[in-house]
Amino acid sequence: MSPTTRARVAAALRAQRIETASWAYANSGTRFKVFAQEGVPRDPYEKIADAAVVHRFTGVAPSVALHIPWDRVGDYADLARHAKELGVALGAINANVFQDDDFKLGSVTNPDPAVRRKAVAHLLECVDVMDATGSRDLKLWFSDGINYPGQDDVRARQDRLAEALRETYGRLGGDQRMLLEYKLFEPAFYATDVPDWGTAYAHCLQLGPRAQVVIDTGHHAPGTNIEFIVAVLLRAGKLGGFDFNSRFYADDDLMVGAADPFQLFRIMHEIVLADALRPEAGVAFMLDQCHNIEPKIPAVIRSVMNVQEATAKALLVDADALAAAQQAGDVLAANAVLMDAYHTDVRPVLAELRADAGLDPDPVGAYARSGYFEKIRAERVGGRQAGWGA
Ligand code: PSV
Ligand code: MN
Ligand code: MN
């Protein structure tokens, strides 16, 4: 690697920001079993403390997303102060209209107007939370959908969704944004109301510039070309961010980069090509993962490192050589440019970069040696589940 390339890659990696999720630090599981772990946070304050530890060892995770009501507190400004004291900020506010009995037939798309009002009231409450925390992004994922053909009118549900989004969008102030997340299926099994990027994009387009699509990498049919979606949304100026995680089958929420690091590289290549890595470009790089069986803090650290590695490889793609090969119609050469970058071992560069920033080159090892886990294991008795009961 030439010194110029190294300097360019280092500068981009230094500027990268990855947001972790509060629920990743708490107990989680499947519908079969939640395995409790030692030392897990007992309240939102402790989740933020853990997020701050991830930032301390990686240097690139300075914010943590909240999920309401999982992270409900009496005084959000105080929670934001607590975060600041620990060297992090509160990030995206995730709404939750999927865990109330009233939402069995849907939240914002429910046929009952009273239920729809209740759902919208929660979305508006989340904007109040953003006002108190200083968060920029409201992240909306709706479990709404139907299980059987004929169960409800699909078009009417889209109208109800549009109305709820419009009201919520109208409540945003300053530079606040609405990020709309899509998911193919689950818990609805026949027709989800926001199943794909096209539906999310159509709603965001109608709403206006502050409504953007968020891509959760676990929310597609197997084999979906996610980087294509990234490219199309970037071109349209409608990519608001990512919920990164890995999947082998469905919405597995495994550590990002674990199942398909090549896919992560291809996604980051599109980001680098569009110069969208800079925080000012407005793409939020968030993690949405559940660490059901692995220790949580080191798993989040590993995930952050995996995003960094994919990014470093994407930054190493020789853009001039790629453009020349593409222009010449040289299919093999163009593909080789990409594969050369992908096969580069970027771990030494990242280790050097961390050392330059005064960090331990080995964040997972440094965390293990820090004694933090022993401390929380002793202090925190009776840690809680991420949401389901938190
Ligand atoms: C839904 O599967 C999702 O990806 C949404 O982002 C939720 O808010 C999140 O998971 C947390 O469970
Ligand atoms: Mn998600
Ligand atoms: Mn998900």
Residue 239 identity (one-letter amino acid): L
Q: Provide the pLDDT confidence category of residue 390 given band limits of 50, 70 and 90.
A: very low
Ligand 1 lining (C-beta closer than 6 Å): 94, 141, 181, 183, 216, 243, 251, 288
Residue range 212-269, pLDDT digits in tens: 999 999 999 999 999 999 999 999 999 999 999 999 999 999 999 999 999 999 999 9
Q: In this structure, are residues 196 and 228 in contact, taking their beta carbons and an 8 Å threshold? A: no
Residue reference for tokens 């790089």: 285
Q: How far is the CA of 237 from the centre of ligand 1 (A)?
A: 23
Q: How far is the CA of 141 from the centre of ligand 1 (A)?
A: 7
Question: Which protein residue's CA is at the shortest distance from atom 2 of ligand 1?
Answer: 251
Residue range 66-101, pLDDT digits in tens: 999 999 999 999 999 999 999 999 999 999 999 999
208: Cα separation from own chain's centroid: 22
What is the rounded CA–CA span in Å between residue 221 and residue 184?
Answer: 7
Question: Which protein residue's CA is at the shortest distance from atom 11 of ligand 1?
Answer: 288
What is the rounded CA–CA span in Å between residue 124 and residue 348?
Answer: 46
Q: Which residue has the higher pLDDT, 386 or 303?
A: 303
Which ligand is nearest the CA of 192, by number? 1
Angle between helices 261-273 and 226-235 (to 10 degrees): 20
Residue 275 identity (one-letter amino acid): D
Q: Which of 122, 137, 141 to probe ligand 1 with, by most ligand atoms within 8 A of CB?
A: 141
What is the rounded CA–CA span in Å between residue 119 and residue 96?
Answer: 9
Q: How far is the CA of 289 from the centre of ligand 2 (A)?
A: 8
Ordered structural domains, the chain, with CATH: 3-379 (3.20.20.150)
Which ligand is nearest the CA of 23, by number? 1
Quick one: DSSP state of residue 22? Answer: G
Sequence-distant (≥ 6) Cβ neighbours of residue 132 within 8 angstroms = 75, 76, 77, 80
Question: Which protein residue's CA is at the shortest distance from atom 10 of ligand 1?
Answer: 288
What is the rounded CA–CA span in Å between residue 195 and residue 101?
Answer: 22
- pLDDT of 326 higher than 80: yes
Q: How far is the CA of 67 from the centre of ligand 1 (A)?
A: 9
Q: How far is the CA of 323 from the centre of ligand 3 (A)?
A: 36
C-alpha angle 249-264-355 in degrees, rounded to nearest 5? 130
Q: How far is the CA of 32 from the centre of ligand 1 (A)?
A: 18
Q: State percent of the chain over pLDDT 90.
A: 97
Residue range 33-56, pLDDT digits in tens: 999 999 999 999 999 999 999 999
Q: How far is the CA of 107 from the centre of ligand 1 (A)?
A: 15
Nearest to 288 by CA among 65, 110, 48, 100: 65
What is the rounded CA–CA span in Å between residue 135 and residue 115?
Answer: 27
- pLDDT of 128 higher than 70: yes
Question: Which protein residue's CA is at the shortest distance from atom 6 of ligand 1?
Answer: 141
Q: How far is the CA of 366 from the centre of ligand 3 (A)?
A: 30
ipTM for the whole complex: 0.98
Residue reference for tokens 């119609």: 329
- pLDDT of 348 higher than 80: yes
What is the rounded CA–CA span in Å between residue 295 and residue 92?
Answer: 24
Which ligand is nearest the CA of 29, by number? 1
Helix (H) or strand (E) holding 371: none
Question: Which protein residue's CA is at the shortest distance from atom 9 of ligand 1?
Answer: 288
Which ligand is nearest the CA of 242, by number? 2
CA distances (Å), 44 to each of 83, 165, 327, in order?
A: 10, 27, 53
Q: Which two tokens stand for residue 201?
A: 């994009």
Any alpha helices (H) in 194-330, and if so which ranges? Answer: 197-207, 226-235, 261-273, 296-315, 319-327
> Got the DSSP string for 47-104?
HHHHHHHHHHHHSS--EEEEEETTT--S-HHHHHHHHHHTT-EEEEEEE--SSSGGGT
What is the rounded CA–CA span in Å between residue 215 and residue 17?
Answer: 17
What is the rounded CA–CA span in Å between residue 368 and residue 298?
Answer: 8
Question: Which protein residue's CA is at the shortest distance from atom 3 of ligand 1?
Answer: 141
Residue reference for tokens 């980087």: 227
Q: Provide the pLDDT confidence category of residue 384 given band limits of 50, 70 and 90.
A: low
Q: In this structure, are residues 138 and 144 in contact, taking their beta carbons and an 8 Å threshold? A: no
Q: Is 246 helix (H, G, I), strand (E, B) or coil?
A: strand
Q: Which of 31, 179, 216 to probe ligand 1 with, by most ligand atoms within 8 A of CB?
A: 216
* Angular region, 30: left φ>0, alpha ψ -120 to 50, beta rest: beta
The sign one gets for the Cα dihedral 226, 339, 288, 33 is positive
SS3 percent helix, strand, coil of the chain, rounded to 5, is: 50, 15, 40
Question: Which protein residue's CA is at the shortest distance from atom 1 of ligand 1?
Answer: 141
